[in-house]
Amino acid sequence: MSRWSELKELIIKNFGANGFADRWLTYVLQFVLFAVLFYLMFKVLKSNKAGKFIGVVVFFVVLSGVMLAFTKDIDSGILLIIIALVATLIFTMFNTEIKRTLLDAGVKKSKAEPVTVTGVELIMDEIVRAVQNMSKNDIGALIVLSNDNLPEGIIESGTIINAQITSQMVEAVFYPKAPLHDGALVIEGNRLYAAGCFLPLAQDERLPKEMGSRHRAALGVTMVASVTAIVVSEETGIISIVKNGVIKKKYADATDIKEALSDYYWSDLTAEADV
């Protein structure tokens, strides 16, 4: 019997009227499980620009299909086990990204107010000026650049101020005797949205013990949401930029801050150009 004849018989056996009737529930469950895992894997990997790993997953899917089609004795349960193992591997490697993706998916996003090119430049100048002034005066600060994608509990822990972005307002929030200075300031688009917000602290044992609560909070919030955090150390005045659960830049200067702000306004938000 030729290989093609064997393949034909295998397909009839598994997917013919009798075979399908006996295994329809198994097929449906496998299809649903595979579709969910496939979607989640691609969403996480694509959002984190893990292109090479996407290629590995595609290769595995094609290989599994070939194995199922051309092997008579393979147990479909083995494929489920392999899929589960691959999913476990991806979860281990991208656990922070998966957590952030799932939490972002549960946040209802509102349409951001359009910001013009001129408006963005003015806003960035104001934020840079405020951060540098606080750095020079060793005033601690934690600013979160959000795209309306923070968990609701974080916003509710603070006070909605919905104020215009100016260097004076930013510095006023973090003035040591101000009631909201200990929490985070959340910026959404062209507004100072909320202040005094409490953020989840990173609990990684590998972090230096001398790392302060502001830096741990910045790491924590960027692990659970796709946001950027700007931190000013109260002890040293050092400026740090945090994203994706890691400190992207320590000892940041005006250029670094403006670059982070540019990424936020031109990549994370939909900005309208001046006509």
Q: What is the pLDDT of residue 54?
A: 65
Segment 108-113 shows an average pLDDT of: 49
pTM exceeding 0.85? no
Characterize 224-234 residue by residue with b for buried, 16 or more Cβ atoms within 10 angstroms of its Cβ, and e for exposed. Answer: bbbbbbbbbbb
Q: Which parts of the chain fold into alpha helices (H)?
A: 3-15, 17-47, 51-70, 76-93, 95-105, 117-136, 152-156, 167-173, 213-224, 254-263
Segment 232-253 shows an average pLDDT of: 94
Query: CA angle at residue 139 from 136 to 143, to 5 degrees?
Result: 105
Phi/psi zone of residue 196: left (φ > 0), alpha (ψ -120 to 50 degrees), beta? left
Which span out of 15-24, 26-35, 95-104, 191-200 was modeled with the highest average pLDDT?
191-200
**pLDDT tens-digit map of 211-241:** 889 999 999 999 888 899 999 999 999 999 9
Contact 131, 252 (CB under 8 A): no
Q: Which amino acid is at 128?
A: V
* Residues 6+ positions from 154 with CB-CB distance below 8 Å: 184, 186, 197, 198, 199, 200, 221
Structure tokens at 114: 């359009």
**pLDDT tens-digit map of 187-212:** 998 999 999 999 988 887 778 877 88
Contact 212, 234 (CB under 8 A): yes
Q: What is the pLDDT of residue 271?
A: 39
Among residues 269, 245, 41, the alpha carbon closest in space to that of 149 is found at: 269
Alpha-carbon gap, residue 42 to 56, rounded angstroms: 11
Q: What is the pLDDT of residue 142?
A: 97
Q: Any idea which architecture 117-268 has in CATH?
A: 3-Layer(aba) Sandwich (3.40)
CATH 3.40.1700.10 in the chain is located at 117-268
Alpha-carbon gap, residue 264 to 275, rounded angstroms: 21
Query: Packing angle between helix 51-70 and helix 3-15, nearest 10 degrees?
Result: 90
* Residues 6+ positions from 77 with CB-CB distance below 8 Å: none
Structure tokens at 183: 């929490």
